[in-house]
Amino acid sequence: MELDPVSRLIVISNRVSAPTGSHSGAQGGLAVALASALREYKGIWFGWSGDRADSFTGDIHFERSDGVTTATIDLEDQDVDEYYNGYANRTLWPLFHYRVDLAEYEREYAGGYRRVNERFAETVYPLIEDGDAIWIQDYHMFPLGDELRKRGCGNRIGFFLHIPWPPRRLMSILPEAQALARSLFAYDVIGFHIDEWLQSFCDFAEQELGAVRDGEDLVLDGRRVRVMAVPIGIDVQEFVDLAAGTKARLAYRQMRDSATGRDMIVGVDRLDYSKGLEERFLGYERFLTEHPEERKEVFLLQIAPPSREAVGSYQKIRRTLEELSGRINGEYADIDWVPIRYVNQGYSRDVLAGIYRAAKIGLVTPLRDGMNLVAKEYVAAQDPEDPGVLILSRFAGAATQLTDALLVNPYSAEEMSDAIIRALRMSRTERIDRWRKMMAAIEQQDISWWLDTFTSALMEREPVPA
Ligand code: GDG
């Protein structure tokens, strides 16, 4: 059962990015996915504009572009510091990516997080009509459903977590862990990418809160929540078309020309410590030392647009990577070859598609990742007659679906080195065979499947009596 054609879908996420109507913008996969959901079902996409105001007003800016209505609010400096740069990105993100060492716990952050969620609830609630289905996205907004319920919202409300849910013992480190997990029982449906994250949540809810599992539901104090694993997909056809388009073909040509017959290995990631870039560079260095005969036959292109630059740990990882790529290049480069091309700017999606296609290897080695869309985009962009090889971290959610990638432990430089040499030497028949299986997997569970599976589950729930 999909959404009733008369119901609206209200999507709420931290950031809203109005669709550009073209593929030349720098939008990530999730933004594109949510825009297509809202085009399919009419509705509104609500969230922070990304702009700051002197003081919070709650004024909503409406915009309609490319079939999608967006409604955005500005936040004041203190909100951005405590909620976004604070609790979301200094506390929750590192902890949920198992980086206990980087997580910071400040009462002001937790307070700012609560305040902004209240402000979101206060502002969006008047826009909600009977029959609307509400779908809240990600770790910035855990308590928003509960805040809406407190204001009398009886609509169906779903929540999707785009990052891992950490194991119970890690989660317990968060001072607000119990209250935060308890607040999730305001939702009707909670979605995770994979079973591992779902099981960790259930474990926490059962052991720490006393929730009880009942089939596909968790029950706590009379509230029944459906929990499900629904791996997010990509719009495969869009990427296939992008890769065949003029801009992608041009980018492909440029990359091939500048490679001068060498094999390109590509990585594309937000500059984030969870993406394992330091370990990736070290794994690649290991490959250079173990296979001197292969030096000058390959190079690594790492595209890493900076993100969350106000947060100290992101400034640090940026410096670390500059030093490391500089050191490796200094040690191995020759007058006619540089082992790592390390680029800190973003590219449009069509250029990315051409770059993916030109790469003999896609190197996607996060230390921990809810899903990872880059892995799927790399597969979709390949030439079916001569596809490249995906090397993928076992610790990315995507590894549960892309089992025909070369799966590696991203902490092991040796495994990474072995996988690179294996990929370079892999026969075309094996490459085609692996690629076909991966392509079938991403086509089967693509972005429409993700949207329909989640919204159908949400519509199966009865609205909460007022
Ligand atoms: C979170 C979870 C989960 C990257 N560089 C450029 C660019 N990108 C695009 C990629 C891809 C997206 O950004 C990144 O998505 P990921 O899934 O790899 O990673 P996160 O940003 O960490 O996303 C993750 C995801 O949410 C969805 O649920 O998979 O696990 O952490 O689409 O292509 N896009 C453009 N230029 C760039 O330079 N246009």
Is residue 191 domain-shared with residue 246, that is, in the same domain? no
Task: Please tell me what DSSP assigns to residue 235.
Answer: -
Average pLDDT over residues 9-33: 72
Task: Please tell me what DSSP assigns to residue 10.
Answer: E
Is residue 197 domain-shared with residue 294, that is, in the same domain? no
Is residue 126 assigned to a domain? yes
pLDDT of residue 21: 52
Is residue 211 domain-shared with residue 244, that is, in the same domain? no
pLDDT of residue 38: 82
301 - beta bridge partners? 266, 341
Bridge pairing between strands 212-214 and 217-220:
antiparallel
> Hey, is 369 helix, strand or coil?
strand
- Give the closest residue (by CA) to ligand 1 atom 34: 28
Is residue 158 assigned to a domain? yes
Question: Of 63, 24, 42, nearest to 349 (Cα)?
Answer: 24
Q: What is the C-alpha separation between 32 and 18, in angstroms, rounded?
A: 9
pLDDT of residue 35: 80
pLDDT of residue 213: 97
| Residues in CB range of 323: below 8 A, 6 or more apart | none
pLDDT of residue 66: 79
pLDDT of residue 179: 98
pLDDT 10s digits, 158-182 = 999 999 999 999 999 999 999 999 9
pLDDT of residue 34: 80
Q: Which of 356, 371, 395, 450 to mutate to test the pocket of ligand 1 (most atoms within 8 A of CB)?
A: 371
Q: Is the model's pLDDT at 3 over the cut of 60? A: no
pLDDT 10s digits, 93-152 = 999 999 999 999 999 999 999 999 999 999 999 999 999 999 999 999 999 999 999 999
Ligand 1 proximity of 144 Cβ (cutoff 6 Å): no
pLDDT of residue 464: 74
Phi and psi angles of residue 185, each rounded to the nearest 5 degrees, phi first: -75, 0
Nearest-Å Rg of the Cα atoms of the chain is 22
Is residue 299 domain-shared with residue 412, that is, in the same domain? yes
Is residue 2 assigned to a domain? no
Q: Which pair of structure tokens corresponds to residue 223? A: 């509230």
Q: Is the model's pLDDT at 25 over the cut of 50? A: no
Ligand 1 proximity of 270 Cβ (cutoff 6 Å): yes
User: 318 C-alpha vs ligand 1 centroid, how far in Å?
Assistant: 18
What separation in angstroms does the CA of 134 have from each of 7, 16, 175, 452?
Answer: 10, 15, 28, 14
Residue type, 305: P
Quickly count helices (H) and strands (E) in the chain: 17, 16
Is residue 425 domain-shared with residue 452, that is, in the same domain? no
Q: Is the model's pLDDT at 26 over the cut of 80? A: no
Is residue 188 domain-shared with residue 267, that is, in the same domain? no
Q: What is the C-alpha separation between 379 and 390, in angstroms, rounded?
A: 7
Cα 344 to chain centroid, rounded: 19
| Residues in CB range of 25: below 8 A, 6 or more apart | 348, 349
User: Is 140:14 a contact under the CB 8 Å cutoff?
Assistant: yes
390 - beta bridge partners? 362
- Lowest mean pLDDT, pick from 65-79, 135-149, 200-214: 65-79
Q: Is the model's pLDDT at 23 over the cut of 70? A: no
Ligand 1 proximity of 162 Cβ (cutoff 6 Å): yes
pTM of the full structure: 0.96
Q: What one-character-per-residue DSSP string does 372-435 give?
A: -HHHHHHHHTS-TTS--EEEEETTBGGGGT-TTSEEE-TT-HHHHHHHHHHHHH--HHHHHHHH
Annotated catalytic residue 334: no
Annotated catalytic residue 369: yes
Is residue 145 domain-shared with residue 193, that is, in the same domain? yes
Average pLDDT over residues 313-337: 97
User: Is 60:72 a contact under the CB 8 Å cutoff?
Assistant: yes
Ligand 1 proximity of 416 Cβ (cutoff 6 Å): no
Average of per-residue pLDDT values in the chain: 94
Is residue 395 assigned to a domain? yes
Is residue 440 domain-shared with residue 454, that is, in the same domain? no
Is residue 73 domain-shared with residue 95, that is, in the same domain? yes
pLDDT of residue 463: 84
Is residue 308 domain-shared with residue 394, that is, in the same domain? yes
pLDDT 10s digits, 398-442 = 999 999 999 999 999 999 999 999 999 999 999 999 999 999 999
Is residue 212 domain-shared with residue 116, that is, in the same domain? yes
Task: Please tell me what DSSP assigns to residue 243.
Answer: H
Is residue 31 assigned to a domain? yes
User: 270 C-alpha vs ligand 1 centroid, how far in Å?
Assistant: 7
User: First vs last Cα of the chain: how many Å apart?
Assistant: 24
User: Is 454:160 a contact under the CB 8 Å cutoff?
Assistant: yes
User: 374 C-alpha vs ligand 1 centroid, how far in Å?
Assistant: 6
pLDDT of residue 29: 64
Rounded to 10°, the helix 349-358/373-380 angle is: 70
Is residue 3 assigned to a domain? no
Burial profile 376-401: b = 16 or more Cβ within 10 angstroms, e = fewer: bbbbbbbeeeebbbbbbbebbbbbbb
pLDDT of residue 133: 96
The CATH number that applies at residue 367 is: 3.40.50.2000
Is residue 438 domain-shared with residue 452, that is, in the same domain? no
Q: What is the C-alpha separation between 52 and 55, in angstroms, rounded?
A: 8
Q: What one-character-per-residue DSSP string does 209-230 give?
A: I--EEETTEEEETTEEEEEEE-
pLDDT of residue 1: 47
User: What is the band of 466 on the pLDDT scale with cuts at 50, 70, 90?
Assistant: low
User: Is 8:131 a contact under the CB 8 Å cutoff?
Assistant: yes
Q: How many domains does the chain have?
A: 2
Q: Which pair of structure tokens corresponds to residue 208? A: 């720490």
Is residue 465 assigned to a domain? no
pLDDT of residue 27: 58
Q: Is the model's pLDDT at 37 over the cut of 50? A: yes
Q: Is the model's pLDDT at 396 over the cut of 70? A: yes
| Residues in CB range of 317: below 8 A, 6 or more apart | 271, 272, 273, 277, 278
Enclosing domain of residue 440: 236-444
Residue type, 227: V
Is residue 306 assigned to a domain? yes
Ligand 1 proximity of 370 Cβ (cutoff 6 Å): yes
